[in-house]
Amino acid sequence: MNRFDCISPLDYRYYGGNPRLFERISPFLSERAAIEYFLRVEVALVRGLENRHLCPPGVADEVEQKAASVTPEDIDREDGIVHHYAKAIVNSLRNVVSDRAKPYIHLFLTSFDVQDTAMSLRLRDFVNAVTIPDLLELEQVLIRLARENAEVVQIGRTHGQHAVPITLGFAFAEYVDRLAQRIEFIRKMTSNLRGVLSGAVGAYNAMSLAMPDPETFEEEVLALLDLRPGTYSTQILEPEYVTDLTYAIISTLGVLANLADDLRHLQRTEIQEVQEGFSEKQVGSSTMPHKRNPWNLEHVKSLWKEFAPRILSVLHNQISEHQRDLTNSASGRFVPEIYVGFADAVDRMLRICKGLEVLPENIERNLKLSGDYLGEQLYILLSLQGLPDAHEQARRISFKAREEGRPALECALADADLRPHIEKMTPAQRAILTTPESYVGVSVRRAHAVCDYWEAALLLPK
């Protein structure tokens, strides 16, 4: 594998050795891609100059054609001489074009005009080509799981303890909603990425020597790349554009990590309400052949642990002394790795959720572990009867039912103070006290409503 095809400085093996995913990532985030995008900006500059009649006709076509012949190896050799990577790319391009084209390569620009613009292009194209499609596919899988399990009654859990019933579909709808909101946020931040071509210190000094309207020229060149300029620059593009998108990516990774945690715990031996797909020859443990470890879900959590803290480095990259320094020259190179780690997490969650098996018999078993002594419904119904200490009375009855192994309604009816209130309840209200599976609120309706909303908002096929 050529090192220029890797995600510098780490290669794809750090992200799970997924060749299919690597092939989708490499065209945007590899070292080779960084060079290609840099050269795209240089080509756009020359085309803009030609459109303005500031260079001879045909030069832009020549530069575009010759740029395709510049190799990473050429640049590596040149960098060994000049020890300036951006200048090495510029020199390598100048070395392959004619003398009439040479003067217009990198004219007016600084390194970071090109590098910042190229970074915006790379991230935009990667997110639109890989991230958004994968997230939308995952969203559709979650919607399917929410709809299919909208009426599967499951015990709700708070603080790791049995709470009141919901449905499994309602639980999935949480992630339908959270992921969809993040998708919209990522789309918004991606569309707000900008470019910059303003020269040293960002005041268009060099361009002003050749034209009266350098800001308009910047707009024209960036339009060739389907980018808008930032509203201000200091030689480097305002960092908040990339910072905001990267935060959107990392916060979405947090949603995936939360989903991974929930699914992992639901696979615990004593719970086992869902189950990851497991191939026939797959090994769960090197020493315990019977195990089916949810390692892919744990890997998603592990990716979050690695990449979530990197938002601090991204925030640190906001700081540059006066018009520019190079304190982000090393840390900025690691930003694409965040996007690669996120792509791996999305890919894993997609495969897990597609093959996820729901185990209804275990869901029902766990629901019955709580018996019918769930206290909230008794407390609320007694409060509606006007009982002033309804919560305490319900707590007392719930504990009594649990200790004696008797139905909560039976214990309540045996209590002289509570019996008159119980007898005033409607048959439907009394049934709720003995059938936890009927006490799910609007879980079913909400699960479908959330799916309906996001299918429409995200224009997903039904």
pLDDT-derived band at 23, boundaries 50, 70, 90: confident
pLDDT-derived band at 280, boundaries 50, 70, 90: low
pLDDT-derived band at 284, boundaries 50, 70, 90: low
What is the per-residue pLDDT for 184? Answer: 98
How confident is the prediction for the chain on average, in pLDDT? 91
What's the rounded Cα separation, in Å, for the pair 152 and 169? Answer: 7
At residue 195, the 3 state secondary structure works out as strand
| Region for 8 from its dihedrals, namely left if φ exceeds 0, alpha if ψ lies in -120 to 50, beta otherwise | beta
Mean pLDDT of 193-204: 96
C-alpha closest to that of 64 among 30, 32, 101:
101
pLDDT at 96 > cutoff 60: yes
Mean pLDDT of 405-415: 87
What's the rounded Cα separation, in Å, for the pair 95 and 402? Answer: 84
pLDDT at 9 > cutoff 50: no
Mean pLDDT of 224-246: 95
pLDDT-derived band at 282, boundaries 50, 70, 90: low
What is the per-residue pLDDT for 374? Answer: 65
Mean pLDDT of 135-161: 97
Q: How does pLDDT run across 378-409, given as a tens digit for each residue?
A: 999 999 999 999 999 999 988 888 888 888 88
* CB of 218 closer than 8 Å to CB of 229: yes
For residue 83 the two structure tokens come to 């020890």
pLDDT-derived band at 17, boundaries 50, 70, 90: low
What is the per-residue pLDDT for 316? Answer: 94
What's the rounded Cα separation, in Å, for the pair 146 and 176? Answer: 8
Mean pLDDT of 74-92: 95
Residues 73, 76, 78, 81, CA torsion sign: negative
pLDDT-derived band at 117, boundaries 50, 70, 90: very high
What is the per-residue pLDDT for 261? Answer: 96
The residue among 288 and 369 whose pLDDT is bigger is 369
Mean pLDDT of 25-37: 93
The residue among 57 and 334 whose pLDDT is bigger is 57
What is the per-residue pLDDT for 278? Answer: 63
Portion of the chain with pLDDT greater than 70, in percent:
92
The residue among 5 and 149 whose pLDDT is bigger is 149
At residue 223, the 3 state secondary structure works out as helix
What's the rounded Cα separation, in Å, for the pair 88 and 84? Answer: 6
What is the per-residue pLDDT for 287? Answer: 58
* CB of 117 closer than 8 Å to CB of 197: yes
Q: How does pLDDT run across 290-340, given as a tens digit for each residue?
A: 557 788 899 999 999 999 999 999 999 999 999 888 888 888 888 999 999
Please give the domain boundaries of the chain with CATH numbers for all domains. 1-108 (1.10.275.10), 110-281+289-369+443-462 (1.20.200.10), 373-434 (no CATH)
Tell the residue number behind the tokens 């020259």, with chain if given: 329
The residue among 435 and 12 whose pLDDT is bigger is 435
Mean pLDDT of 29-57: 96
What is the per-residue pLDDT for 277? Answer: 75
Could you tell me the end-to-end alpha-carbon distance of the chain, in angstroms, rounded to an integer?
Answer: 41
What's the rounded Cα separation, in Å, for the pair 205 and 207? Answer: 6
What's the rounded Cα separation, in Å, for the pair 99 and 96? Answer: 9
